[in-house]
Amino acid sequence: MTWSVRSSVDDSGFDPSSGNSGRPRLIRAIQDIQNKLGLRIRELRKNLPMKILFLLLGFYCATAFATVIGQTGDWDILSAALAVFVVEGIGALMYRASLPLLNNVRSLITMFNYWKAGLSLGLFLDSFKYEVENIAGFTNYFSFGIDLFRIFL
């Protein structure tokens, strides 16, 4: 009668003939995590300069978008609706894998997803740009006014 100890990882037990070459489960689990992490890092490094370029381009577009559209106060609602439409549209294209037509342009959609991330981050940071000066109490030393009428009163 032999006792069999089963492994919860691959259900092979401690039988050296099963292909695990006598290594403990902890070592195999660590090596499996290293392999998966290495594969993920190699996947992320693929087209890294283009990903960074699209992220920075999205950040620039957010700054331009907030500056140009923010010049007049009556376009704020429409510009916010346009930004939400663009972000949600790219997100829907990115995470919808059921259409076979989208599989042909998957890399382009992925690049636009990085652009979307830059746009969202840029708009988020731009929303704090003007209020930080008020909260922190920064003063603009180059902005001064001369009250000419005070002399005559």
State the pLDDT at residue 81. Answer: 84
- As a whole number of angstroms, the distance between CA 68 and CA 71 comes to 6
Same domain, residue pair 28 and 87: no
* Orientation angle between helical segments 106-136 and 48-69, nearest 10 degrees: 50
Report in angstroms the alpha-carbon separations of 86 from 55, 81, 151: 15, 9, 56
Q: Cβ of 108: how many Cβ atoms within 10 Å?
A: 11
Q: Is the dihedral of CA 131, 132, 137, 141 positive or negative?
A: negative
Across the 153 residues of the chain, what is the mean pLDDT of every consecutive 10-residue run? 53 51 84 92 86 92 80 74 86 75 78 90 82 64 62 62
State the pLDDT at residue 54. Answer: 93
Same domain, residue pair 120 and 76: yes
- As a whole number of angstroms, the distance between CA 82 and CA 15 comes to 62
108 and 47 in contact (C-beta within 8 Å)?
no
Q: Kindly state whether residue 59 falls inside one of the protein's structural domains.
A: yes
- As a whole number of angstroms, the distance between CA 14 and CA 111 comes to 46
Same domain, residue pair 73 and 106: yes
State the pLDDT at residue 106. Answer: 80
State the pLDDT at residue 5. Answer: 54
Q: Kindly state whether residue 141 falls inside one of the protein's structural domains.
A: no
85 and 70 in contact (C-beta within 8 Å)?
no
State the pLDDT at residue 60. Answer: 92
The domain containing residue 15 runs over which residues?
Answer: 9-46
State the pLDDT at residue 10. Answer: 53
Same domain, residue pair 67 and 116: yes
66 and 123 in contact (C-beta within 8 Å)?
yes
Same domain, residue pair 62 and 90: yes
Same domain, residue pair 129 and 101: yes
State the pLDDT at residue 52. Answer: 92
